Structure 1
Amino acid sequence: MAYGPGGAGVRPSRRSRAVTAATFMLAWVALLWLLAAIDSGSGLIVKEYGIQPRDTDELLDVFPAAFLHFGWDHVAANTVPLLIFGFLAALRGMVRFIGVILLIVVTSGAGVWLTAPDGTNTAGASGVVFGLFGYLLVRGFVERDALDITVGVTVLLLYGSILWGVVPTSSGVSWQGHLFGLVGGVLAAFWLRRTPAARAASRQPSGGTGPSPWS
């Protein structure tokens, strides 16, 4: 099937991106719950692969730690914002989204490793949640995209209260992971921003079924 020079060629691309983003995020959240179920009761996995600060053997644990949680309440608290923020961020293409996630995970995990108190063990997807929040918040302004600015402002109005999580107000909560996750998301908005040519191309009708949702 081919599409003419009108606007119809854009719709399949937008639809396929939305389906891909939704499928990816649902699978991600399902993985988090599966890992929580496997580790329920014993807590051995999160104990082994959580981030223990300033231990060089723990540096690589910044990756698995982002997928592990301390019980059902912990994973439940991260599920809805992760789904929403991840879906909105992934709509712009999965390749860039994965780059954003990697930068957030590394920045948040490294920040925890450097600054968390001795003897602590940190895990959870909240660093990614805060990173995606920061990414969505500034992406539109960085790229001068009116739609993304609207998305960022809406996210701020609905979820702005989570910013209290970057200050040390609650014991047992890694404000370091939140803060450095937020920093990672802002950095990702700058470092992985689309060029003006890429933004213009994304608005143009395309032949065939449109650009890949992974672009």
Structure 2
Amino acid sequence: MKQHRHFHFSTSVIAYPIFFVLIIWVMFWADVRFGLRLSKFGIYPQTLKGLRGVLFSPFIHGSIKHLAHNSVPLLVLSSALFYFYRPIAWKVIGYGILVSGFLTWFIGRPSYHIGASGLIYVLVSFIFFKGVFAKYYRLIALSLLVVFLYGSMIWYTLPIEKGISWEGHLAGLITGLLFAFIFKKSIAKPKKYVWEQPDYNEDDDPFLKHFDENGNFIENLEPEIEEEESIIIRYSYKEYKENDD
């Protein structure tokens, strides 16, 4: 379990997101190739039949443009999730699909809601708010990066464009915020350097003793020997020579 306590890179950081996106592309190819019309498996709010879309809708897309627009942010955000929040990454994705799907089903218009954008909003919201709540500079930097890349997405949680499921986006945003509170203690613990430890004393640092007050390297640093210790050392050496003779 120690390997999960600090940030570290592994093949799963990239492999899982690529595999997830690949499944979505295969689903789209099968839909077009065989005329499956998978959109009917999307979320249709406030109907019992429409509940199946809670599970299936993130894997269904209406066009190649729709799929391409979702693939890149999904790949980037899920990779960041697996790198910085590995212990809870699958929980955020799995529960994020379910919770945001149910919210979409509850508040959505009577139409089929499809696409992975709801999950993308879950990831954007969770990564941003969790970084702010964690108060750790790496996670805050990640939050700022998310805002820089995807901050404009906030407008699509409002009904400003016809044909876009703003309800799914809003559901994802709310879900990510809730998860940022729920998973308060399940975040990565960044490894602290020696000087970040609470009991660290700069005067006792053997490395810093090689530098003077101005930061210059001391080339000939020899241990200081007190006079009494020096006499004992010389006496011991003389005694050794006498015994040797």
TM-score, with length taken from structure 2: 0.71
Matches of 1:188 and 1:98, distance apart in 2:
12
Partner residue, 1:193: 184
Higher relative contact order (CA 8 A, sep 6+): 1
Note closer, same or farther for the CA distance 1:145–1:57 as it changes in structure 2 (3 Å cut): same
From the superposition, tell whether residues 39 and 66 of structure 1 become closer, same or farther in structure 2 (CA, over 3 Å): same
Residue 176 in structure 1 maps to residue 164 in structure 2: no
Aligned to 2:229: none
Tell me the equivalent position of 1:203.
191
SS of 1:203's equivalent?
coil
Equivalent residue for 1:28? 20
Matches within 5 A, 1:1-215: 14-16=8-10, 19-40=11-32, 42-47=35-40, 49-118=41-110, 120-194=111-185, 199-200=188-189, 202-203=190-191
CA shift digits 1:152-178 (9 cap, x unpaired): 011102221111110101111000000
Q: Deviations over 1:53-96 (max 9, x none)?
A: 11123324201111111121111110111111111111134440
The 2-side partners of 1:163 and 1:68 are apart by 22
In 2, the alpha carbon distance for the partners of 1:37 and 1:199 equals 37
Structure 1 residue 13, shift from structure 2 partner: 6.8
Bigger-Rg structure (1/2): 2
Calculate the TM-score normalised by the size of structure 1.
Answer: 0.80
SS at match of 1:40: helix
Classify the secondary structure of the residue corresponding to 2:84: coil
Rounded to whole Å, the distance in 1 between the matches of 2:140 and 2:64 is 34
Counterpart residue identity of residue 44, structure 1: R
Alpha-carbon distance in structure 2 between the residues aligned to 1:111 and 1:99:
17
Does the 8 A contact of 1:167 with 1:175 survive in 2? Answer: yes
Q: Which amino acid in 1 is paired with 2:43? A: I
> What is the percentage of aligned positions where both structures have the same residue?
26
AA paired with 1:15?
Answer: F
Contact (CA 8 Å) 1:50, 1:123: kept in 2 or not?
Answer: yes
Describe the shift of the 1:32–1:187 C-alpha distance in structure 2 as closer, same or farther (beyond 3 A): same
Between the two proteins, the alignment pairs up a number of residues equal to: 189
Q: Distance in 2 between matches of 1:71 and 1:40?
A: 9
Deviations, residues 68-127 of structure 1 (Å, cap 9, x unaligned): 111211111101111111111111344401111123212221122112222x11110000
Shift of 1:43: 4.7
Q: Superposition RMSD on alpha carbons, in Å?
A: 2.2
